[in-house]
Amino acid sequence: MSMRSSLTGQNLGKYRVLEPLGSGGMARVYRGYHPQLDRFVAIKVLRSDLVEDELFLTRFRREAQAVASLRHPNIIQVFDFDVADDIYFMVMELLDGDTLHTRLNDYRVRDEQMPWGEMVRILLDVLDGLNYAHQEGMIHRDIKPANILLTRRGQAVLADFGIAQIVGGTRHTVSGALLGTLNYMAPEQGLKGVSDVRSDLYSLGVVLYEMLTRRPPFDADTPLAILLKHVNDPLPLPSELNPEIPAPLERIVLKALAKEPDGRFQSAPQMAEALKTAAAEAHIALPSRISLPLSFSTSDDPSDSVAVFSGTARQKLANVAFAAEDTAATSQQSVTAALAALKAQEPPVESVRVETAVAEPKKPSAWPALFRGFGLLILVNAAVVMFSGAAGAGWFFRTGWPIELMLVAVAFAQLMIHLGSPWLMIPGGLLLGESVLLSYYALSGRWNDWVFLWPLQVFLVFGVLWFSITRAAVSGEPAALADSWGRTLLRLAYGAMGLLVVLVVLVNFLS
């Protein structure tokens, strides 16, 4: 299927394709219907030339499952993902409302300013969704007004998590994708394709800048010129463009748009708390919900909202004009090649040293994680010694000694999170699994059971090795994967230690 062909009237699996809603560099969006559930949905069909790449297919299967697992009121819900007749598609909830892109354009047409409280409420909703996604190890990478939906429920909802993650690891350069996002892209993301939590917050800072001043901070005739401005140019003060902007909100923008990631907000909750403090300081009343679309959203019926999905406001779904800028995503690993091609087409830029614009990230030290992990090992052992001494015997060590292996697994989990290396799941997972097996032998005293339980050791070793190697080797986001796995390993280890302590106490006091 090419991007020009239409699927209107056809079936994709169990979904009936109705009319198109929008199109972009990576996908075309249709309104669809699920007859069994009697539910209208949005169907995002991925470009056919992308799915010819085996690397893309691997990423689609892995990342689509991760995106579909996200459950948050401020993130658009992905219901399903599937392939039918070599057509890869994702099924999402269909929302009524405007995109923030459309809402800002409406204010520009009216020559009016979005209320300060409305801005803060929108950002707080987005930050709530981002915080959840970041905790799940997901980075959006393409935050812009066109990907923020303002719904009839009065909420701001983040869209296009799926496309940003799935296409983000491919090597395809799509016409329009780079052009549509550089205005909102963090310097390190545009220059080197490196993105993390702070890159998302930078993009959201650009969105706030545009809401305050009705224009993005950096603009130019070419994509490369826009990127170089993000990297090198000082930020134009919002108050110079609009003197009425409250000073506390301007301070939020200045911190969010710091050139170096370490100078920005380090997490979504930190930025949200700063926004609430700034609103209180500026005596800005925060609405409980976002207002409905502006009165002139449709000329025929001024009271009507406009049905959109990651696209500009459309008056009639059946006669829709596609808007690529609202559904384009960013191809992260192709940025370097795209910039090289753009650079070759442009006259040389004097007095700019791109290679020194973004500092190389420092290699994290393992010492903090080692101190935390093995410090816990020492503290737990000291506590056990005191407890056993008070009880008059060393019975805890006789049956509860596998807790030592669990504590070492905790240390490896700390290292995995701190160093961003998912490969540390191998020793950490093996130690935790081994400690659980040994706990059974130590508590029951049935060491002879090893004769027929030894295959469990083999399954454990090969299971951990297979899981870690197959997942880590193809991961486009090793740091995010390591963070997610490390936190999961920590939860399992702490749960296993708590259960072991309870069982040791029960066994020894009841025997």
Q: What is the pTM for the complete model shown?
A: 0.58
**Residues belonging to the active site:** 142
Position 425: which residue type? M
Q: Which two tokens stand for residue 206?
A: 């650009």
**Burial readout 21-35 (b: 16 or more C-beta within 10 A, e: otherwise):** bbbbbbbbbbbbbbe
Predicted confidence at residue 210, as pLDDT, reads 94
Predicted confidence at residue 49, as pLDDT, reads 66
Predicted confidence at residue 446, as pLDDT, reads 83
Q: Which fold has domain 97-356?
A: Transferase(Phosphotransferase); domain 1 (1.10.510)
The domain limits of the chain are 11-91, 97-356, 367-510
Element (H, E) at 378: helix 367-391
Class of domain 11-91 as given by CATH: alpha beta
Q: Are 210 and 104 in contact, with CB atoms under 8 Å apart?
A: yes
Question: Within 13 Å, how many C-alpha atoms sit on residue 457's CB side?
Answer: 8
SS3 labels along 223-270:
HHHHHHHHHHCCCCCHHHHCCCCCHHHHHHHHHHCCCCHHHCCCCHHH
How many Å apart are CA 363 and CA 11, to the nearest integer? 51
Q: Are 367 and 418 in contact, with CB atoms under 8 Å apart?
A: no
Per-residue pLDDT tens for 244-264? 999 999 999 999 999 999 999
Predicted confidence at residue 222, as pLDDT, reads 80
Predicted confidence at residue 394, as pLDDT, reads 64
Predicted confidence at residue 445, as pLDDT, reads 82
Low-confidence residues of the chain: pLDDT under 70:
1-5, 23-26, 48-60, 62-63, 162-180, 293-371, 373, 387-396, 473-481, 511
* Average pLDDT along the chain: 75
Predicted confidence at residue 120, as pLDDT, reads 95
Judge whether 11-91 and 97-356 match in fold: no
